[in-house]
Structure 1
């Protein structure tokens, strides 16, 4: 059970604070980040561990705010074509909403683990032993209940990471997971290192060791809107994905095992074009997912190795002029177009700086092993052993186009 104490005692305290600010009561001026965050709203204790907001930056005006709760990126500011500081990721502006998994569950900006994306029915077999994981992803009309993002509310994105190292441009976070946690084998020690470089790159490295064979597949779950306009769908964001193929998904978003060509389908982003061009097409894959929620098989991964010096994907906003290039050593990237934002009650949730997000307001670009890889031995393996530690790298470079 989570315990919240410190400067925030829960959503009630947050609501009172917001009300006081709205009422114009004069208090001591808060020290705000470029994105408008008040670090005091993240200063608390959860499960007897301190939680804070940390700010990384460079001399160009790039600023990335990270909380060790879930290893989450809370804001990411870069200058637009007019030199205006622009926050390009979705999120909340207080720890109470992030930690309230009953009412506002979200993967915003998180360092997902132990296994990002889905595992079919929450089952896999390793070295002759079948493991049953926590099942948290049911679908109407399906007897299967998948495991999603390492167990969701009990996964790493909702646990407090220890801070091993921090300075103005780097933070290294660590989490320790016990053998059997959420059904996964092996005692694991995992680190996530975020770095902001001088040339406007958010560089992320994940590393992990285990005392017995297990599976690990970490990612960052930033929701990007490069225009900075978070109250309208981002249909004009221009997407490029360096991939000739993608993994076909069934109605529960689980890979069927088939790898299909993007040629002639709305999945073809080899030539950059606006996401809105095809997001509402009648093509079975996009229609079922209410947009994009699929894994692309990257051309930058060949012969069991990924080339993280080549651009694997990019995103561009013609409104702001902000251009983001992605690099990774992983074989896949999950493109998710925020299909469940702003629907089914989500439209009433107030988020960062009082904004309410509509459907398709953002695009996620998540580096990864293919979904359900433990059950597909023909795909790149997520198996980690004491002799073969885990290493994953992703980088996001920002510029003006």
Structure 2
């Protein structure tokens, strides 16, 4: 296992940015920045042993700070919070007190507001233990940052405990009641030579959709067996996508009442043979096929745009604070929010 740690420029406030690269020695190489907790790059071998980029991102920090990226921010590889997903009308109540947030997405609050965790510079330290090498990022989100109550202390740890497996561990505490929903927003493309991800095969370990209207949950969990949303058996992302005007941007409820680490989704690409399995202890996984990815130039000059990557986001349900029947996202003083998601990369498998 190898670690490389180097300067990576400065953010808009002049704070130092760093880029951390972890090489498992078996072909999987992951790079992470303390800016936004962004996974900037993951390289894995294909079925022929050739290394290639499998996530959307940029080589330089400046590209993530550029107005062309920020104007239509697609959240490449970042931590989204305080609340991943949408909160309807930017409002919810805690103990009878109304909380109002800035709205940044069609009258709703998306991914923590105008300047969520994805646009913050985090503190960082290396982890070096006998069975674990990685990076620990921490950030103190002050009371009423983007309208959210409570001083929230957040820690996200990235580590490899076995070859080909990247694990993210999230932790948070607060000094007053607040809501928390954290995820990583990496877009996967297991073969960048292809024009899009429509020929990727996807399996989701669920037949239950978090029903939504204009991307806001109705409060109902519905059976999707046999519909365009059904990925309970592997199928190409493009097979039924024509039935949806903007592609997939939908949450799937997982059978995870006990909160253990369970398989949530499997993505594979037939030409390269690459595959990534996603495991989580969260109650849902959100699939976004990137219809609104802007025209940008990424790693190695690859042109990005609609459907160039698919985000597979493990998290709580969107808009949970406004739906008492949904799994609770309320965090109180003295409690600890904890969550784990693992990505297991391989090549040569068929699905």
- 1:15 corresponds to: none
Does the alignment pair 1:174 with 2:135? no
Shift of 1:56: 1.1
2:167 is paired with a residue whose SS is strand
After TM superposition, the structure 1 stretch with the greater mean CA deviation from structure 2, 371-380 or 49-58, is 49-58
Shift of 1:102: 6.1
CA contact (8 A) 2:279 2:343 kept: yes
* Structure 1 spans left out of the alignment, 5+ residues: 1-32, 139-144
Measure, in 1, the Cα distance between the counterparts of 2:12 and 2:20. 16
Measure, in 2, the Cα distance between the counterparts of 1:367 and 1:234. 19
Measure, in 1, the Cα distance between the counterparts of 2:74 and 2:250. 19
Shift of 1:61: 1.7
- 1:89 corresponds to: 55
Does the alignment pair 1:332 with 2:294? no
Measure, in 1, the Cα distance between the counterparts of 2:68 and 2:309. 23
CA contact (8 A) 2:28 2:163 kept: no
2:108 is paired with a residue whose SS is strand
CA contact (8 A) 1:200 1:398 kept: yes
- 2:242 corresponds to: 280
Deviation string for 1:269-309 (max 9, x for gaps)? 1111110101112xxxx33xx1100000012x12xx2221x
Residue of structure 2 aligned with 1:79, choices 22, 35, 45: 45
TM-score, normalising length from structure 2? 0.93
Measure, in 1, the Cα distance between the counterparts of 2:75 and 2:67. 10
Does the alignment pair 1:307 with 2:260? yes
Does the alignment pair 1:130 with 2:98? yes
* Structure 2 spans left out of the alignment, 5+ residues: none
TM-score, normalising length from structure 1? 0.82
Measure, in 1, the Cα distance between the counterparts of 2:120 and 2:89. 23
2:112 is paired with a residue whose SS is helix
Measure, in 2, the Cα distance between the counterparts of 1:93 and 1:122. 34
Higher helix fraction (1 or 2): 1
Measure, in 1, the Cα distance between the counterparts of 2:102 and 2:11. 26
Q: Which has the larger radius of gyration?
A: 1
Higher strand fraction (1 or 2): 2
Count of equivalent residues: 341
Measure, in 1, the Cα distance between the counterparts of 2:34 and 2:127. 11
Residue of structure 1 aligned with 2:204, choices 241, 246, 270: 241
Does the alignment pair 1:250 with 2:197? no
For 1:155-170, list aligned pairs within 5 A.
Answer: 155-167=116-128, 169-170=133-134
2:64 is paired with a residue whose SS is helix
Does the alignment pair 1:322 with 2:274? yes
For 1:115-126, list aligned pairs within 5 A.
Answer: 115-126=83-94
CA contact (8 A) 2:192 2:302 kept: no
Residue of structure 1 aligned with 2:10, choices 25, 37, 44: 44
- 1:295 corresponds to: 251
1:353 is paired with a residue whose SS is helix
CA contact (8 A) 1:232 1:358 kept: no
Measure, in 2, the Cα distance between the counterparts of 1:377 and 1:271. 31
Measure, in 2, the Cα distance between the counterparts of 1:106 and 1:96. 16
The 1:196/1:101 distance shift into structure 2, 3 A limit, reads: farther
Does the alignment pair 1:370 with 2:317? yes
The 1:392/1:101 distance shift into structure 2, 3 A limit, reads: farther
Measure, in 2, the Cα distance between the counterparts of 1:244 and 1:381. 21
Measure, in 1, the Cα distance between the counterparts of 2:272 and 2:196. 15
Measure, in 2, the Cα distance between the counterparts of 1:213 and 1:273. 42
- 1:270 corresponds to: 232
The 1:215/1:78 distance shift into structure 2, 3 A limit, reads: same
2:325 is paired with a residue whose SS is coil
Shift of 1:97: 1.7
- 2:326 corresponds to: 379
Measure, in 1, the Cα distance between the counterparts of 2:308 and 2:181. 26
CA contact (8 A) 2:11 2:121 kept: no
Deviation string for 1:61-105 (max 9, x for gaps)? 211001100000000011110001111000111111212356543
CA contact (8 A) 2:87 2:110 kept: yes
